[in-house]
Amino acid sequence: MARFMDVHHNMQGITADQLLEAHRADLSIEGEEGVHFERAWADPESGTVYCLSEAPSADAVQRVHERTSHMADEIHPVPLTV
């Protein structure tokens, strides 16, 4: 499986509880799309949220986010890590 970093914009003021709730929503259905969300980060001031996942495709990542009502604005493959 490939790794992906997705980015959500316009989430100014997101709290830790809201980020956790969104992450848990993704986790609750991720297996149906063959995705595993590893971690999420947020910058409440800029309204940017980042999610790291392993998935068969960027489309699978987006389908999970669509179903949990927080579509990603960008999804980037992450082919290299150190």
Region 11-40 average pLDDT: 98
| pLDDT at residue number 24 | 97
pLDDT interval class at 21 (50, 70, 90): very high
Strands of the 36-43 sheet, one edge to the other: 36-43, 48-55, 2-8, 74-77
Query: What pLDDT sits at residue 57?
Result: 98
Q: Can you tell me the distance from the alpha carbon of 51 to that of 7, in angstroms, rounded to the nearest whole number? A: 7
The pTM of this model reads 0.94
Per-residue pLDDT band at 9 (split at 50, 70, 90): very high
d(Cα 31, Cα 42) in Å, to the nearest integer? 23
